[in-house]
Amino acid sequence: MTGTFEAFQISDRVFWVGAIDWSIRDFHGYLTDRGTTYNAFLIKGDQKNVLVDTVKKPFYEEMYSRIASVIDPSTIDTVISHHAELDHSGSLPALVAAVRPTNVLTSKAGVDALSQHFSLDVPVQAVPSGTTMELGDIRLTFHDTRMLHWPESMVSWLDGDDILFSQDGFGMHLASSQRWTDELNAELIHRETAKYYANILMPFAGPVSKVVGKLGPVIQKAKIIANEHGPMWRSGIEELLGWYNRWSERKPTRKVVITYASMWQSTATMARAIAEGAAQGGMQVALMGLDTAHRSDIAMELLDAGALVVGSPNLNGFMYPTVADLLTYLKGLKPKGLVGAAFGSYGWSPAALDQVQAALQEIKMDLVAEPLGVKYVPTTQDWQACRQLGKTVAERVQSLCG
């Protein structure tokens, strides 16, 4: 494929040499309905050439072709591995075999992680956090960013070009022929950045907050943030930092997410009545049926929500499968500071309601009421109870928001 794909120059001596994955629709359970990119970067020095990360293994030839459009790939001296996950390191063995670099630089934990993934026939060297290295005229400073979002994660700063290579930080799953965020719709960029944070970084909000706080002065002086998924940042960086700080703080807002599954529409009508009560209580409402809403989109809505209300019918003595799927997924994401409630229709047994309530407790939600159950079809009195549950949730959220 050499000659097919070309590099994209982002500064005087840095080139994007990544790959575009237009087709991917699932990333560890996260709906990537707009595809993604795997961003790798070539630093072309006067004396040495450095490759910053690689791409997912099936896209090796695309990356290699882009590198070859700038330099002879065999002149790559050093490869930097910021993150050992296979969407960034999968092409590393093939690249090392093809170009025989002098070494691979990574974090201390990265040495172990790479050795547990591959057998690389070149030295893999640990770079202590805070170290500045001069590779010819290329001056890079490395910072460990543990749990953003793996233990071995690190970032690097390219002096002179003022580029922060941020690996998975500040990225998004978004395939595009445009390389810069400011070339795309601003609302789309916000949405995909929020969705990425919610589904990848939410469980690590504490470490993310510490890293952003520690590296804040470095990030603020960056001319470019070269993230490794989606378009890169050359403007709007201060606003981006504001988003990350707000999402990491997890302060509740006057927003209620109501999600449910329904077999014969009884639980669905309950959900609509609860939504009406929450709206009457001054809440913005996101009503999301699990027949159409994906778990990862619900997670994104929770980033700025004050409450999650979950409804399920009873199926064979258990909560509905899509509800169980959602709650299992959210348990791993660890959303914090949410008011919660459970509801649903049942026929023979209300067991599903207790299971939903227990799952919300495991996620450490502030439950405002016992599960609200209706046998078979809601009556006018039941709808009134649903509307009141919505108002009760709204009142609790209002008290938390001040």
106 contacts: CB under 8 Å, gap ≥ 6: 80, 81, 82, 84, 113, 114, 124, 125, 126, 127, 152, 154
Q: Parallel, antiparallel, or unpaired: how do β-strands 154-158 and 163-167 relate?
A: antiparallel
Which pLDDT score is estimated for 147? 87
Do 259 and 289 touch, CB atoms closer than 8 A?
yes
d(CA 39, CA 179): 10
Q: How many residues appear in the chain?
A: 402
CA–CA separation, 92 and 110 (whole Å) = 13
In a 13 Å sphere around the CA of 259, the CA atoms on its Cβ side amount to 28
pLDDT digits (tens, 9 = 90+) for 159-177: 999 999 999 999 999 999 9
Of the pLDDT bands very low, low, confident and very high (cuts 50, 70, 90), residue 111 is: very high
Residue 368, burial from CB neighbour count under 10 angstroms (0-12, 13-18, 19+):
middle
| pLDDT tens digits along 208-235 | 899 888 898 899 999 999 999 999 999 9
Q: How do beta strands 103-106 and 76-80 pair?
A: parallel
**Residue 131 predicted with pLDDT over 70:** yes
Rounded Cα distance between 236 and 112, Å, is 36
Q: Return the CATH number of the domain spanning residue range 256-395.
A: 3.40.50.360
Give the phi and the psi of residue 388 in degrees, each rounded to 5.
-65, -35
Q: Is the pLDDT of residue 121 over 80?
A: yes
Task: State the DSSP string of 224-253.
Answer: EEEESSSSBBSS-HHHHHHHHHHHHHT---
- Percent of the chain residues topping a pLDDT of 70: 100
Structure confidence at residue 348 (pLDDT): 87
Give the confidence band of 114 by pLDDT, cuts at 50, 70, 90.
very high
User: Quick one: pLDDT at residue 1?
Assistant: 65
What radius of gyration do the chain's Cα atoms show?
24
Longest Cα separation, the chain? 79
Check residues 252 and 340 and name the one with the higher pLDDT.
Answer: 340
Report the alpha-carbon distance of residue 326 to residue 82 in Å, rounded: 31
Average pLDDT over residues 315-337: 96
Residue 235 has which token pair?
């403007």
Report domain extents, the chain: 8-247, 256-395
Q: How confident is the model at residue 104 (pLDDT cuts 50, 70, 90)?
A: very high
- Percent of the residues in the chain that have a pLDDT greater than 90, as a whole number: 93
Check pLDDT > 90 for residue 120.
yes
Decide: 29 and 329 in contact? Cβ < 8 Å: yes
Prediction pTM value: 0.96
- Does residue 97 surpass a pLDDT of 70? yes
**Per-residue pLDDT reduced to its tens digit, 255-308:** 999 999 999 999 999 999 999 999 999 999 999 999 999 999 999 999 999 999
Residues with active-site annotation = 28, 83, 85, 87, 149, 168, 196, 229
What dotted CATH number matches 8-247?
A: 3.60.15.10
